[in-house]
Structure 1
Amino acid sequence: MLNKIEAGEYLIVLNKDEDSISLVSLNMSKVIKTISSDHNPHEVVVTPDGKKTYVTCSLGNTIDVIDNSNFEIINRIVDKDFDFPHGLGINKEGVLYVASTYSSKVFFIDTATDQIVNCIDTGEVHSHMVALTPDEKTIYVPNIGSDNISILSADTQSITGVIPVGKGPEGVAVHPEGKWLYVANQHENNLFIMDTTQHEILWKRKIGSCPIRIVFSPDGKYALIPNRESDDLTVILTAQEIAGFTRPWEIKRIPVGKWPGGTVFSNNGLKAYVANNKTNDLSIIDMALLKEVGRIDVGIHPDGIALLTVL
């Protein structure tokens, strides 16, 4: 039994179809501990201080809380309005944002107490994910069934607008510079890149089949987008310079496992890791080579993934 987690970098991997959570040591490239979760764990986020992890268990309608010192579940958050809780975001102050897909509500949770402090209804259909701006003042929530994105103010905890986008938006992320919003429309197989002031569409890019996530490298140079149905990973160079123009451009599609989903970078940005839902493993991506260089076996149907750094 693992009593204490040693210093190092780890991946927290959610195995949706066996109701379990794996802790992967990046130093050893293998699972060192697996714990049982509530039903159907989907998304995961680590608190800024690294002490706790939150996991939405979508079909259990709960949120599991993990103590990272020993990687054990210490609490389970429930609410009558949880209906497929899914997307997660967290700010530096420890406020957790949770999107509940079928109730189309966004919950605000104090991670110091694990208490729900507010809940707002988006008024849209299937509010699914959460993305914060780098200054943490704005929260974007894509609504898959309404083909739009709700804009929330973190200060007032209220909705300030709605952005029409493509069909089936799911993957949403803000570039580390804070100037551009990236939106992956899974039913159109494309990427919208918008400014974060007027939310004007600046570029559209055709990518792989059923893009479902977006993650930026720590320096903002790359955006990675797993394409679930084409079993590959789109690599966007966010500022390609060519013929006097600077533009975001897809420079490669990297073949990975079956049904790629959750994607995360290492702290130094040299590696990325992709959870392959149907091959039950993680792809290791070398960002210098832009190639898959290995796999790590995990549980059944891994999807949500997060990086945990233990000091």
Structure 2
Amino acid sequence: MTKGYLLVLNKDEDTVSIVCTETKATIKTVETDYNPHEIIVSHDGKKTYITCSQGNKMNIMNNETFEIEKRLEHPDFQFPHGLGLSNDGKKLYMASTFSEKVFIFDTETDEITKILSTDQKHSHMVAVSPDGKNLYIPNIGSHTITVIDAETEEISSHFPVGKGPEGVAVHPNGKDIYVANQEDDTLFILDAENYELKYKRRIGHVPIRIVFSPDGKYALIPNRESGDLSIIDTEHELKGNVRPWEVKRIRVGVWPGGTVFNQDGTLAYVANNKTNDISIIDMHIMQEVEKINVGIHPDGIAFLQADHTTDI
């Protein structure tokens, strides 16, 4: 088991809970700006970016001290939300939902280098392809995904998906794009080359995130309104047929949201907004084995390796 920390955003008390994965205890609670929603750790593990959606700010936390060391603002930070990083870690991408723009930052200086308008409605999250060449931005109100060429930093296309897409991720093999459509309770799996629909699966009620295990074997999808977690075997074999398939759906807490794996993929953690806790999922048995209490309405969550920090 990989030792580390869970960084959990408690969006209705404006804090981050720093939870030791060994002891399951909160070792520190850090105050943020208003309504923290999404979180990502830099590739070198030195800092964490936090979008404070209703505060229209980005907070940057020093992972050595677990203190907020910088706050970023911009007139077009209008419900700043989804985050992604380039493969080399030099660029940070952020989607601003209500301004319908994507911001690109230099992670060395944390300055904005470019702003792109999607011209779509409610651009909410960011997914980066495994090769780092494309960004995928789900537009909840337009029922589309915007594709951004990471090299040119220009929009290359949009393609239609189901209703209310929110969760999006690209399989580690780079061939399949998974999209969770929250308004019609479906999972779309599309060809990454031509964006054609390969598979459609009905899952739980209001699916909002997609997270792949490190080896790509499983995709986890929290279903907000049904209070459960869909486990997708991405290459399920049955009678000679290999296809993505929901192999289990397990109860977690109320309003599950942010989901993350530990480094080796043996455990997953799901933030339950309305029960104020984190479900620990043992991936060997695909069951919830324990819960960790955190703050009020936890949502965004990240895993931080212990060797990136000093003891608090």
Counterpart residue number, 1:271: 267
1:37 aligns with 2:32: yes
Whole-angstrom CA distance in 1 between matches of 2:259 and 2:211: 7
How many residue pairs get aligned? The number is 305
Counterpart residue number, 1:296: 292
1:9 is aligned, of 4, 12, 32, to: 4
1:180 aligns with 2:189: no
For the 8 Å contact 2:163–2:182, the answer to whether it is kept is: yes
The CA deviation at 1:200 is 0.6
2:107 is aligned, of 100, 107, 111, to: 111
1:310 aligns with 2:291: no
Deviations 1:78-132 (A, max 9, x none): 1111100000001223210000000000000111111001001000000000000
The CA deviation at 1:53 is 0.2
Whole-angstrom CA distance in 1 between matches of 2:283 and 2:239: 25
1:281 aligns with 2:305: no
The CA deviation at 1:310 is 2.9
For the 8 Å contact 1:47–1:94, the answer to whether it is kept is: no
Counterpart residue number, 1:145: 141
List 4+ stretches of structure 1 deviating above 4 A: none
Aligned-partner SS, 1:18: coil
Counterpart residue number, 1:55: 50
1:248 is aligned, of 212, 237, 244, to: 244
Mark the runs of 5 or more structure 1 residues left unpaired by the alignment.
1-6
For the 8 Å contact 1:141–1:150, the answer to whether it is kept is: yes
Whole-angstrom CA distance in 1 between matches of 2:90 and 2:36: 21
Whole-angstrom CA distance in 1 between matches of 2:79 and 2:43: 25
1:73 is aligned, of 56, 59, 68, to: 68
For the 8 Å contact 2:42–2:89, the answer to whether it is kept is: no
1:158 is aligned, of 154, 157, 161, to: 154
Whole-angstrom CA distance in 2 between matches of 1:253 and 1:294: 17
Aligned-partner SS, 1:178: coil
For the 8 Å contact 2:213–2:265, the answer to whether it is kept is: yes
The CA deviation at 1:242 is 0.9
Whole-angstrom CA distance in 2 between matches of 1:231 and 1:243: 32
Counterpart residue number, 2:92: 96
> What TM-score, normalized to structure 2?
0.97
Whole-angstrom CA distance in 1 between matches of 2:172 and 2:228: 24
Whole-angstrom CA distance in 2 between matches of 1:31 and 1:96: 28
For the 8 Å contact 2:234–2:245, the answer to whether it is kept is: yes
Counterpart residue number, 1:213: 209
For the 8 Å contact 2:166–2:182, the answer to whether it is kept is: yes
The CA deviation at 1:8 is 4.0
